[in-house]
Amino acid sequence: MKLRVGVLGGGSWGTTVGALASRNAPTIVWARRPEVADEINRAHTNQTYLPGFTLPKNLRATDSIEEAVRDADVVVIGVPSHGFRTCCEAVAPHIRPWVPVLSLSKGLEQGSLLRMTEVIEQALPGHPAGVLTGPNLAKEILSGFAAASVIGMRETSIASELQDVFRSGLFRVYTNRDVIGCEIGGALKNVIAIAAGMGVGMGVGQNTLAAVITRGLAELSRLGVAMGGKPETFSGLAGMGDLLATCTSPQSRNRHVGEQLGKGRKLDEIVAEMNEVAEGVKSCRSVIQLGNRHGVAMPIAEEVYRVVHEGSTPAEAYRGLIRTAARSEQEPG
């Protein structure tokens, strides 16, 4: 019997994951806005978030969370981190017992500093929690380009079953029991992508960008390991893979924010013209707090935070990184 899938979130990535799953299983996407759900059902498009793409005709949509999850054998939550707990709480009265819940969100809960699977465990106790993550740019996947993702989940038997739900054509899905590493890699890469984007906006050289991305990988790896993640996760899809895609692609929302900052624009006007969330804007504060909690130096995250929240300029941020004393490559900083 085919598993039934409920995807919560009608943005670009939620819709794309719904489209992938619909090739293997009956799938319904919840969209907060009724007109988005109606468009998916009627025209098989989502022009607000995925202009120019045609969605599978068997992908259904609804603006009712109850309808999306009441019959689901797996629930996928693709809303931004700031609305994640509220979404879980809305799901609670309608989800059947023991149904696995996967997060698509690459962020941290403000204040509590919890990862999204930890929020699931609090708000939906008894439901196996995992994350679908990796270097996944929605429009490239819908265009048919080869891509790979990873399901981070402690329950390997469930993760193996879910592989068959999401893999499709040139989209490969791996599994990884290191949930902490998978989630920390996804959250921190957004902050590093803002830093890389600032460099692009200022016109720095490729050498400089390569250094920022590489030191960013070292930075997120140190924090991830300090929190209990496995070192090898950060050289895989959820670490280096996701970091490279987010730092180098013009499709990346976080890189876009950094690039516009690097060109001298104000954060408020950049965010106002975007129809989706750049998680790194809020995550940079949480990342620094996590670094302090675990005694891990986060120099790149700190410079991004100063630009985003304290009025520093991208040029000052890059000068700050250059002023950091160079030590052994294996040491922080």
Active site residues: 189
Contact at 8 Å (CB) between 223 and 294?
yes
- Three-state DSSP at 86 gives helix
Q: Quote the DSSP letter at residue 227.
A: T
Q: Other CB atoms closer than 10 Å to residue 110's CB: what's the count?
A: 14
Cα distance between the two ends of the chain = 52
Q: Is 154 exposed, middle or buried (0-12, 13-18, 19+ CB in 10 A)?
A: middle
Whole-number Å distance between alpha carbons of 328 and 14: 42
Whole-number Å distance between alpha carbons of 226 and 294: 6
Whole-number Å distance between alpha carbons of 126 and 79: 21
| Residue 291 tokens, joined | 């670094």
Q: Any residues with CB less than 8 A from the CB of 200 and at least 6 apart, and which?
A: 209, 255, 258, 259, 262
83 bridge partner residues: none
- State the DSSP H helix or E strand holding residue 150, giving kind and residue range, or none if neither: strand 147-153
Q: How far is CA 10 from CA 60, 78, 93, 319, in A?
A: 11, 8, 21, 40
Alpha-carbon torsion (24, 40, 66, 159), positive or negative: positive
Contact at 8 Å (CB) between 7 and 29?
yes
